[in-house]
Copies of this chain bind each other. A is one copy, B any other.
Amino acid sequence: MTESLIERRARLLGPNMSTFYDEPVHLVRGQGVHLWDSEGRQYLDCYNNVPHVGHCHPKVVEAICQQAGTLNTHTRYLHEGILDYVEALVATFDASFDTALMCCTGSEANDVALRMAQALTGKTGVIATDHTYHGNTTAVHQLSQTNPPPGGYWDSVRFVPAPDSYRPLGGVPGMAHAQAFAAKVQEQIDALEAAGHGFSSLILCPFFANEGFPDLPQGWLDPVQAVVRKAGGVIIADEVQPGFGRVGTHFWGHQKIGLKPDIVTMGKPMANGHPVAAVVAPAATMKAFRERFRYFNTFGGNPVSAAAALATLRVVQEEGLQENARLVGEYARDGLRELATRHECIGDVRGSGLFFGAEMVLDRGTKEPATAFTKRVANAMRQQGILLNFLGIHYNVLKIRPPLPFSRDNADQLIETLDRVLAETPLA
């Protein structure tokens, strides 16, 4: 007689809106690293990067409320909010990055970045990895190899094999793997030139988050960087996932791996959940884009969005959350490595700061992915009050990416629960 929440959702949102977990979670409240469902049950959030400084951080909420009650309009009027924010944002970069374009979603940011690269190079060819996700606009969706859209994939988009430190290309780890990756990029540059598109940009997440965050040393992208520069192309670093201190050792993922991108995009965690995203670039790049494309974003950089973003950035800096990510991330990975001494299913432990996980295998010798098992583990953890998920080339990597105020006690709870779940979940 009563319609369930899931039935109501299907009726109003359509039949194929995906949810997490076999039994979806009905959330009603969040605070810090915790979430509560409609029955009052508490969950430890080990997954959500959008509430970067913690769910409902009072300083971000206050900034939103204060500005929403004062003024919210667009950037065709002058306002100091966007300028104060961009000034604080570009200060976290190398000096060459001195301007920003604010928009509302990471998808919009990447969509703009692709066109910035076109404006710089006059070419249209794009290279991405074959296991990435950069967003959902028509153009950016072309970078994800899911269902081919009507009209097919664009010939101007080409793919290279995603790096995999656990199963490196040709079986060789480290810099030989890096050279092999660069050679694959060169092949696709040549193919784009031959097809008449020319080579515009290589877009990548410098942490290769969706690819399963392989363990790549600083300098690993040097060979590919040289190949791209030589071909006259540009590198877009998609920092939507690794940025804003999450990787612990550095504020940005490209800084960690030692990449010098030409254009940097960011989104999700930028304003702790308020729809804010941006493209950061040198002034000459911004100028090239703005001369070539007419671009205005009504909501982009509005006073409330700027206030939310500035409050979030200040909390990261004032509460030392990058350093917390580094320390607690190391501590949690030590815990995972300790679990690996007792659980054969853990084939690899990797990550940086508070973006880490474990690759699950059926056999450490063959490294056969334990994909179905990993999904069962994520579901069992949810039943135990711990929210995490899985990703990677074989969808067998536990994805642990909590809000940055995650503590050692939280890590202990995560590791202890995982220990129990791994013991109780059948591998096959």
Which residues from chain A sit less than 8 Å from chain B, CB to CB? Answer: 5-6, 8-9, 11-20, 24-30, 35, 48, 50-51, 55-56, 58, 60-61, 64-65, 68-80, 82-83, 86-87, 90, 98-101, 103-108, 111, 114-115, 118-119, 121-124, 136-139, 141, 144, 146-147, 149-151, 156, 197, 200, 267-268, 272-275, 283, 286-287, 289-299, 301-302, 304-305
State the CA gap A110–B69 with chains docked (Å): 30
Indicate whether A275 sits within 8 Å of B293 (C-beta atoms), given known contacts A75-B17, A101-B14. Answer: no
Whether B99 contacts A12 by the Cβ 8 Å rule is: yes
State the CA gap A197–B150 with chains docked (Å): 10
A409 → chain B, closest Cβ, in Å? 22
A279 → chain B, closest Cβ, in Å? 10
Say which residue of B79, B119, B151, B297 sits within 8 Å of A105 (CB atoms): B297
Indicate whether A71 sits within 8 Å of B302 (C-beta atoms), given known contacts A13-B99, A78-B5, A78-B6. Answer: no
Query: Can you sample 17 A-B contacts with CB below 8 Å?
Result: A13-B82, A14-B99, A20-B76, A24-B78, A50-B299, A55-B73, A61-B68, A64-B64, A65-B65, A65-B68, A72-B273, A104-B299, A111-B137, A115-B149, A123-B150, A136-B296, A137-B139
Whether A100 contacts B12 by the Cβ 8 Å rule is: yes
Whether A290 contacts B122 by the Cβ 8 Å rule is: no
Chain B residues whose C-beta falls within 8 Å of the C-beta of A56 in the assembled complex: 68-72
Indicate whether A68 sits within 8 Å of B64 (C-beta atoms), given known contacts A5-B80, A138-B139, A151-B118. Answer: yes
Whether B111 contacts A77 by the Cβ 8 Å rule is: no
Chain B residues whose C-beta falls within 8 Å of the C-beta of A55 in the assembled complex: 71-73
How many copies of this chain does one complex carry?
A: 2
Chain B CB count within 10 A is highest, among A25, A76, A115, A268, for A76
Whether B35 contacts A292 by the Cβ 8 Å rule is: no
A172 → chain B, closest Cβ, in Å? 34
Q: List 9 additional A-B contacts (Cβ < 8 Å) besides A104-B105, A141-B294.
A: A9-B83, A27-B71, A27-B77, A64-B64, A103-B105, A106-B298, A107-B108, A111-B137, A115-B138
Indicate whether A15 sits within 8 Å of B138 (C-beta atoms), given known contacts A30-B72, A68-B65, A298-B50. Answer: no
State the CA gap A186–B229 with chains docked (Å): 48
Chain B residues whose C-beta falls within 8 Å of the C-beta of A119 in the assembled complex: 150
Whether B304 contacts A101 by the Cβ 8 Å rule is: no
Chain B residues whose C-beta falls within 8 Å of the C-beta of A6 in the assembled complex: 78
State the CA gap A58–B74 with chains docked (Å): 19
Chain B residues whose C-beta falls within 8 Å of the C-beta of A149 in the assembled complex: 115, 118, 292-293
Say which residue of B80, B99, B275 sits within 8 Å of A104 (CB atoms): B275
State the CA gap A82–B17 with chains docked (Å): 13
State the CA gap A83–B6 with chains docked (Å): 10
Whether A48 contacts B73 by the Cβ 8 Å rule is: yes
Closest 10 CB pairs between A and B? A14-B286, A138-B139, A16-B290, A275-B299, A72-B273, A65-B65, A26-B78, A275-B275, A124-B151, A118-B150
Whether A293 contacts B139 by the Cβ 8 Å rule is: no
Whether A24 contacts B273 by the Cβ 8 Å rule is: no
A367 → chain B, closest Cβ, in Å? 28
State the CA gap A156–B262 with chains docked (Å): 31
Chain B residues whose C-beta falls within 8 Å of the C-beta of A16 in the assembled complex: 287, 290-291
Chain B residues whose C-beta falls within 8 Å of the C-beta of A86 in the assembled complex: 12-13
State the CA gap A289–B74 with chains docked (Å): 32
Whether B287 contacts A77 by the Cβ 8 Å rule is: no
Indicate whether A150 sits within 8 Å of B137 (C-beta atoms), given known contacts A18-B76, A69-B61, A273-B72. Answer: no
Indicate whether A12 sits within 8 Å of B72 (C-beta atoms), given known contacts A77-B20, A78-B26, A108-B108. Answer: no
